Amino acid sequence: MKKMSNIYESAANTLGIFNSPCLTKVELRVACKGISDRDALSKPDPCVILKMQSHGQWFEVDRTEVIRTCINPVFSKLFTVDFYFEEVQRLRFEVHDISSNHNGLKEADFLGSMECTLGQIVSQRKLSKSLLKHGNTAGKSSITVIAEELSGNDDYVELSFSARKLDDKDFFSKSDPFLEIFRMNDDATQQLVHRTEVVMNNLNPAWKTFKVSVNSLCSGDQDRRLKCIVWDWDSNGKHDFIGEFSSTFKEMRGAMEGRQVQWECINPKYKAKKKNYKNSGIVILNQCKIHKMHSFLDYIMGGCQIQFTVAIDFTASNGDPRNSCSLHYIHPYQPNEYLKALVAVGEICQDYDSDKMFPAFGFGARIPPEYKVSHDFAINFNEDNPECAGIQGVVEAYQSCLPKLQLYGPTNIAPIIQKVAKSASEETNTKEASQYFILLILTDGVITDMADTREAIVHASHLPMSVIIVGVGNADFSDMQMLDGDDGILRSPKGEPVLRDIVQFVPFRNFKHASPAALAKSVLAEVPNQVVDYYNGKGIKPKCVSEYDSSRTLAP
Q: Is residue 181 domain-resident?
A: yes
Helix residue ranges per DSSP H, 68-158: 118-124
Residues 6+ apart with CB under 8 A from 284: 161, 162, 163, 164, 260, 261, 262
> Is residue 417 in a domain?
no
- pLDDT of 113: 95
Q: Which of 263, 292, 287, 149 is nearest to 210 (CA)?
A: 287
Task: Give the single-character DSSP code of 16.
Answer: G
Q: Residue 235 and residue 68: Cα distance in Å, rounded?
A: 8
Shared-domain flag, residues 362 and 230: no
Query: Are 507 and 386 in the same domain?
Result: yes
Per-residue pLDDT at 414: 96
Residue 13 lies in a domain: no
The Cα 87–Cα 90 span in angstroms is 9
Query: What angle separates helix 337-349 from helix 390-401, to the nearest 10 degrees?
Result: 160
Q: How many domains, the chain?
A: 3
Of the candidates 192, 250, 263, 253, the one whose C-alpha atom is nearest the C-alpha of residue 222 is 250
Q: Please tell me whether residues 264 and 404 are part of one structural domain.
A: no
Residues 281, 303 within the same domain:
no
**45-to-66, 102, 291, 489, 534 alpha-carbon distances in Å:** 6, 12, 33, 22, 33
C-alpha distances (whole Å) from 54 to each of 18, 490, 538 are 18, 19, 31
User: CA 366, 371, 373: angle at the middle one, nearest 5?
Assistant: 40
Handedness of CA 248, 251, 257, 262 (dihedral sign): negative
Instruction: State how far the Cα of 93 lies from the Cα of 48, in Å rounded to an integer.
Output: 6
Q: Output DSSP code: residue 334.
A: S
Together in a domain, 474 and 531 = yes
* Residue 142, amino acid: S
Query: Quick one: 137 and 164 in the same domain?
Result: no
Q: Are residues 403 and 341 in the same domain?
A: yes
Residue 424 parent element (H or E): helix 414-428
Q: What's the confidence (pLDDT) of residue 419? A: 96
Residue 547 belongs to some domain of the structure: no
What's residue 554's pLDDT? 37
- Is residue 551 assigned to a domain? no
The CA–CA distances, whole Å, from 90 to 50, 76, 81 equal 11, 23, 12
Cα atoms in the Cβ-side hemisphere of radius 13 Å centred on 157 = 25
Asked which of 291, 325, 355 is the last residue of a domain, the reply is: 291
Residue 459 to residue 476: CA distance in whole angstroms = 26
Within-domain flag for 273: yes
Sheet holding 282-291, edge to edge: 210-213, 156-164, 282-291, 261-264
Query: Cα–Cα distance between 493 and 128 in angstroms, integer?
Result: 41
User: Maximum distance among all alpha carbons in the chain?
Assistant: 96
Residues 229 and 82 in one domain: no
Question: Beta-carbon neighbour count of residue 51 at 10 Å?
Answer: 20
- Give this prediction's pTM: 0.58
* Residue 146: strand pairing partners: 29, 126
Residues 6 or more apart in contact with residue 447 via CB below 8 angstroms: 411, 412, 413, 453, 479, 480
**Residue 103: Cβ within 10 Å count:** 10
Q: Residue 41 sits in a domain of what CATH number?
A: 2.60.40.150
Q: Could you give the dihedral angle defined by the CA atoms of residues 98, 101, 103 and 106, in that order, rounded to the nearest 10 degrees?
A: -60
Written as tens digits, the pLDDT of the chain (556 aa) is 334 344 434 433 443 334 443 356 788 999 999 997 665 667 888 999 999 987 778 888 899 999 988 999 999 999 988 877 656 789 999 999 987 555 555 555 889 999 998 888 887 788 999 999 888 877 789 999 998 877 655 688 999 999 999 999 888 889 999 999 999 988 888 999 999 999 999 999 999 999 998 888 998 888 999 999 999 999 888 999 999 999 999 999 999 878 999 999 999 999 999 989 999 999 999 999 988 777 776 787 688 888 999 999 999 999 999 999 999 999 888 899 999 889 888 877 877 777 889 999 999 999 999 999 999 999 999 999 999 999 999 999 999 999 999 999 999 999 999 999 999 999 998 889 999 999 999 999 878 999 999 999 999 999 999 999 999 998 888 878 777 765 567 888 888 888 888 998 888 888 877 777 778 777 787 888 888 889 988 889 888 654 334 333 333 3
Question: Does 97 lie in the same domain as 185?
Answer: no
pLDDT of residue 11: 39
List the domain range (segments joined by +) for residue 60.
21-150
Q: Does the residue 8 lie in any domain?
A: no
Q: Where among 270, 291, 312 does a domain terminate?
A: 291
Within this chain, do residues 403 and 367 fall inside the same structural domain, yes or no?
A: yes
Contact 93, 114 (CB under 8 A): yes
Same domain for 198 and 179: yes
3-state secondary structure of 491: strand
Beta bridge partners of 474: none
Measured between alpha carbons, how far is 282 from 262 in angstroms, rounded to an integer?
Answer: 7
Three-state SS for 471?
strand
Q: How many CA atoms lie within 13 A of 199 on its CB side?
A: 17
Query: Across the beta sheet with 190-195, what order do the strands follow?
Result: 190-195, 177-184, 225-232, 240-248
Half-sphere exposure of 64 (CA within 13 A, CB side): 30
Q: How far is it, in rounded angstroms, from Cα 441 to Cα 345?
A: 11
In this structure, are residues 466 and 473 in contact, taking their beta carbons and an 8 Å threshold? no
Say yes or no: 272 and 308 in one domain. no
Residues 6+ apart with CB under 8 A from 368: 381, 404, 405
Q: For residue 397, give Cα distances in angstroms to 29, 160, 297, 382, 437.
A: 52, 56, 32, 11, 21
The predicted pLDDT at position 369 comes to 93
For residue 400, which phi and psi values (nearest 5 degrees)?
Answer: -80, -20
Are the C-beta atoms of 111 and 98 separated by less than 8 Å? no
| Cα–Cα distance measured from residue 398 to residue 130, given in angstroms and rounded to the nearest whole number | 57
Q: At what angle do helices 450-460 and 414-428 cross, to 10 degrees?
A: 10
Q: Are β-strands 210-213 and 225-232 bridged in parallel, bridged antiparallel, or unpaired? A: unpaired
* Within-domain flag for 242: yes
Is residue 463 within 8 Å of 428, Cβ to Cβ? yes
